[in-house]
Amino acid sequence: MAKKAADIFDLPGEAIGGLPSLEISGLGRIRIENHKGLLTYSEELVEVSGGKAVIKISGSSLDIRAMTADLLIISGEIFKIEFIY
Q: Which CB sits closer to other proteins, 15 or 71?
A: 71
Nearest CA to 59 out of 38, 82, 76 is that of 76
Residue ranges that bind other proteins, judged by CB under 8 A: 37-43, 63-69
CB of 11 to other proteins, least distance (A): 27
CB of 27 to other proteins, least distance (A): 21
Q: Which CB sits closer to other proteins, 7 or 43?
A: 43
The DSSP symbol for 27 reads T
Cβ density class 7-18: b for 16+ within 10 Å, e for less: eeeeeebbebbe
